[in-house]
A = this chain, B = another copy of it.
Amino acid sequence: MATLKKIPLVLMGCGGVGRQLLQHIVSCRSLHANLGVHLRVVGVSDSKSLVVASDVFTKEFNDNLLSEICRLKADHSSLSTLISGECQVFLDSDLRGKLSEIASLLGTSTGLAFVDCSASSETVEILTQAVDLGCCIVLANKKPLTSTKEDYDKLVSRPRRIRYESTVGAGLPVIASLNRILSSGDPVHRIVGSLSGTLGYVMSEVEDGKPLSQVVKAAKSLGYTEPGLIAILNFYIAVDHSFFLNPRDDLSGMDVARKALILARLLGMRINIDSIKIESLYPEEMGPNIMSVEDFLSTGLPLLDNDIGERVRKASLNGNVLRYVCVIEGSRCTVGIQELPKNSPLGRLRGSDNVLEIYSRCYSEQPLVIQGAGAGNDTTAAGVLADILDIQDLFP
């Protein structure tokens, strides 16, 4: 067996997805060795701290240490509490400086991939810097890609060195497929999709006659008061845990709008998030700056039950259902509720599956359809891992 190609990694964000990624990396050791690749983790950060291998050129976190990090984060502990002779800990103000130092050291020598599994908008600075320094970047985090046009342009300035499959539809091969279509000169003229496991689930449940407030509340309280425990558990598995902290990021449509923006920019549209027409499931006066999560759930949401119930009934009279979809066409990008035939691919969608329809020259009458689980830490982390393996040829 030839020597393994080593891909040095720094992981930013080791909550749900990041932690799952570390577990996948450990459990895929022999599979990846068969593919001729070894993933060498040299640094891991959470929001407040960064742990780095004692020598980033030659050392790495061994699998015991990676498992220890996973245990720590499963307990919601800070990385800074990690005790090991194999790594150094950097805090707060030292964190960013150390990250750019590593990028600078490895970017042009052994190569380095920065993997962003955080949900932070603050990683964009180190990511653009890493790109400039010759590093690859792999993102599950949507926020850097949905920042300003200037930031976006910098991030994608070396298109072969960036992958971000898991920002849209988790591990579903959406970005990879679009990149294939685009690079073959087949112009994409329309994308329609249901890209939120959360909203997919909510719209299915509401379609079955359940009040919106109960669907959301029951989901959030993990089904203590709800008989449909299996549905709730599926939901729990399918959605991002951030939903349980702030359900409004999903219900506002903002999460879908970010995904739509990523797709629209991939198609070459020069737009920002505020160019997207977004329909929120709740009115402004129930927004996070005005109402607490508790008030939103207990008094805000119930006020919306009748309206959404009425829309569901009206649609049903026409043989239609309501779906929360994104539409990208020409220079237009919108996200919101649409009334669709019950018997269309989007109308048939149940639960938390995502679906994307791509129309192009090659797929003109009938679209190219990609459908499947579009959320969940396992699937999302698997998409990140596939992205990392996909850039292996850029490493020496």
Q: Which residues of A contact B (CB under 8 A)?
A: 24, 27-28, 31-32, 35, 159-160, 165, 171-173, 176-177, 180-181, 183-186, 351, 353, 361-363, 366-373, 376, 378-379, 382-383, 385-386, 389-394
Contacts and interface: CB of A to CB of B under 8 A. Distances in A.
Name, among A24, A172, A371, the residue most crowded by chain B CB atoms within 10 Å (CB to CB): A371
Given A160-B393, A180-B389, 8 more contacts: A24-B184, A28-B184, A180-B386, A184-B382, A184-B386, A363-B372, A369-B371, A393-B393
Contact of A368 (B24, B35, B372, B378): B372
Contacts of A159: 35
Given A35-B159, A176-B180, A362 B379 contact: yes
A145 to B, nearest CB: 19
Contact of A367 (B372, B383, B391): B372
B385 A185 contact: yes
A190 B176 CA distance: 22
Contacts of A353: 366
Contacts of A160: 392-393
Contacts of A185: 24, 27-28, 31, 382, 385
23 contacts: A24-B184, A28-B184, A171-B181, A171-B362, A173-B176, A173-B368, A173-B370, A176-B176, A176-B177, A176-B180, A177-B177, A181-B382, A184-B389, A186-B382, A351-B366, A362-B382, A363-B379, A367-B372, A368-B372, A368-B373, A369-B369, A369-B372, A370-B370
Contacts of A24: 184-185
Q: Give the oligomeric copy count.
A: 2
Contacts of A369: 369-372
A198 to B, nearest CB: 16
A237 to B, nearest CB: 10
A386 B173 contact: no
A328 B361 CA distance: 31
A82 B269 CA distance: 43
Contacts of A28: 184-185
Contacts of A165: 180
Name, among A361, A378, A386, A389, the residue most crowded by chain B CB atoms within 10 Å (CB to CB): A386
Name, among A173, A183, A186, the residue most crowded by chain B CB atoms within 10 Å (CB to CB): A183
B378 A361 contact: yes
Contacts of A392: 160
Nearest to A345: B371
A372 to B, nearest CB: 4
Contact of A394 (B172, B372, B386, B393): B393
A362 B378 contact: yes
Name, among A35, A362, A366, A370, the residue most crowded by chain B CB atoms within 10 Å (CB to CB): A362
A218 B1 CA distance: 56
B378 A373 contact: no
Nearest to A178: B173
